[in-house]
Amino acid sequence: MFSFLLLVVIYAAFISLGLPDSMLGAAWPMMFSDFGVPVSYAGIISITCSLGTTLASLIYAKVNEKLSTWSITVVSIACTALALIAFSLIHSFPVLIAAALVLGAGAGAVDAGLNNYVALHYKARAMNFLHAFWGIGTLVGPFLLSYFFANGMSWRNGYMTIGSMQSVICILVLLSHRLWVKAGESSITQNSEKPKTEKNTSSLSEAIHQKGAVLAMLGFLSYCAMEQSSILWAPTFLVSIKGFSESSAAAAAGLLFWGITAGRIVSGLIAYRMPGKLMIRISQASILIGILLVILVPERFAGYTMFFLGFGFGPIYPTMLHQTPEFFGREYSARIMGLEMSSAYIGSALLPAVFGILGRNISMNFFPPYILIILLINIFAIEAKMRRAIGKR
């Protein structure tokens, strides 16, 4: 019972993780003019957020030796709430960058901690549903911004609203401490929940030298580069190439997140019936079809292709995460997951920024082939990892 109630709280925390992730791409068509910066500067914000998340995920395993997952989650969600509220108030781009660093660090600690906890203590279905709740969080921002834009309000209203919602979730997690203790986590560390004969931590050097670890990192890097490039630049692509209004493009961005969420819900329902590697391959094929639809369908239907693209994205990330203890064992799970997520954040930062430069200096029309190139890298990395990784299979 306590384990189930704790899972509900963890799901709520993952809603908080998703809330800010969909905001920047949908708000940027208005934000960049308010700050008086070039459109490509969205990449700077993305890189800064990812720098924070990368650092947080790399040090998570070490911090978790001293502090409980509950403690880290509460502090991290509080940081993201403060950063989002700061976004709504800031008028200086350099100060915005500082807030983005705090936002990224908070998100990275939540992501690393809860993913590892669920991978170790719950079945694959729970992991897919966990990331479906991230998707639910991402649904809020674009539609909220679409409503505000249609009614003559600012993107700042959206960030203040999301920051307030984040604060409420932080209070919920703060009040859940007894559930974590009853479900088996010590109030100080997680060591008590692991077998005494099992090595609790490993060094980064040991983890990265496991067979398949580098390929796993490349798989996460390429997947998140695909997803984040789509989240960040699809609205701008629709406005500049397909002739959408800012409000319509924000709504179309919402469909991308609806697709991601639907994909994760469906994958959660069938996870116990389908091997993870088959789930990933079907998802990659769906992404390919989505890319072709973005290129080929008439402009008036282009927004709907975002849903199909997102549906393909949905199952890949949680399925890869849940495979980490399976391929590399519990001994290396926390460290390798930290490396995987650090790679994910690097991909989320660098490759969307690269496309910002290409889109500004060449054409936003390069968006679909850019996603296709990254998809091919993702397919190579995951297939090679499945052949080389060791552990329970």
Give the pLDDT of residue 152.
85
Output the six-digit token pair for 42: 């969205």
Whether the pLDDT of residue 162 is over 50: the answer is yes
- Residues 184-204 have pLDDT tens digits of 543 333 433 444 333 445 566
pLDDT at res. 393 = 46
Query: How many Å apart are CA 336 and CA 339, to the nearest integer?
Result: 5
In angstroms, rounded to a whole number, what is the distance separating the alpha carbons of residues 24 and 221?
A: 20
pLDDT at position 188, please?
35
Which tens digits make up the pLDDT trace of 116-130? Answer: 788 777 777 787 788
Confidence of residue 379 (pLDDT cuts 50, 70, 90): very high
Residue 391 banded pLDDT, cuts 50, 70, 90: very low
The answer to whether residues 248 and 238 touch, using CB atoms and an 8 Å cutoff, is yes
- The tokens for 2 are 């306590």
Residue 299 DSSP SS3: helix
pLDDT tens-digit series, residues 365-374: 889 999 999 9
Q: What is the pLDDT of residue 254?
A: 77
Report yes or no: 6 and 179 within 8 Å, Cβ to Cβ. Answer: yes
Residues 6+ apart with CB under 8 A from 74: 170, 173, 174
* Amino acid occupying residue 7: L
Q: How confident is the model at residue 389 (pLDDT cuts 50, 70, 90)?
A: low
Range with the poorest average pLDDT among 46-60, 75-89, 182-196, 262-276 = 182-196
The predicted model scores a pTM of 0.70
Tokens 């959408």 belong to residue: 244
pLDDT at 192: 38
- Interaxial angle between packed helices 155-174 and 23-35, expressed in degrees from 0 to 180 and rounded to the nearest 10: 130
Q: Which of 87, 72, 273, 240 is nearest to 164 (CA)?
A: 87
Residue 89 has pLDDT above 50, yes or no: yes
Average pLDDT of the chain? 83
What would the mean pLDDT of 231-240 be, rounded to a whole number? 85
Give the pLDDT band (50/70/90) at residue 289.
very high
Residue 220 has pLDDT above 90, yes or no: yes
- Distance CA(95)–CA(76), nearest Å, equals 20
Phi first, then psi: give them for residue 248, nearest 5 degrees.
-65, -35
Q: Which of 67-76, 122-131, 303-312 has the lowest mean pLDDT?
A: 122-131
Token pair of 287 as six digits: 């992404």
CA-atom Rg of the chain in angstroms: 20
Q: Which of 230-234, 247-251, 379-383 has the lowest mean pLDDT?
A: 247-251
69 close to 180: Cβ distance less than 8 angstroms:
yes
Q: Is the pLDDT of residue 25 over 90?
A: no
- Alpha-helical regions (H) of the chain: 2-18, 23-35, 42-64, 69-89, 93-121, 124-150, 155-174, 177-182, 204-208, 213-240, 246-270, 276-296, 302-313, 316-328, 330-361, 367-388
The single residue listed with the structure tokens 């993870």 is 276
Question: Which residues, 6+ apart, have CB-to-CB distance to 243 below 8 Å?
Answer: 299
Confidence of residue 1 (pLDDT cuts 50, 70, 90): low
Of residues 172 and 245, more confidence is placed in 172
For residues 183 and 68, is the Cβ–Cβ distance under 8 A?
no
* Top-confidence range, 74-88, 132-146, 229-243, 339-353: 74-88
274's tokens: 């389908």
Residue 350 confidence (pLDDT) above 70: yes
pLDDT confidence of residue 202:
58
**Residue 332 confidence class, pLDDT cut points 50, 70, 90:** confident
> Which residue type is seen at 15?
I
Q: Residue 96 above 90 pLDDT?
A: yes
pLDDT score at 190:
40
pLDDT of 150 strictly over 70: yes
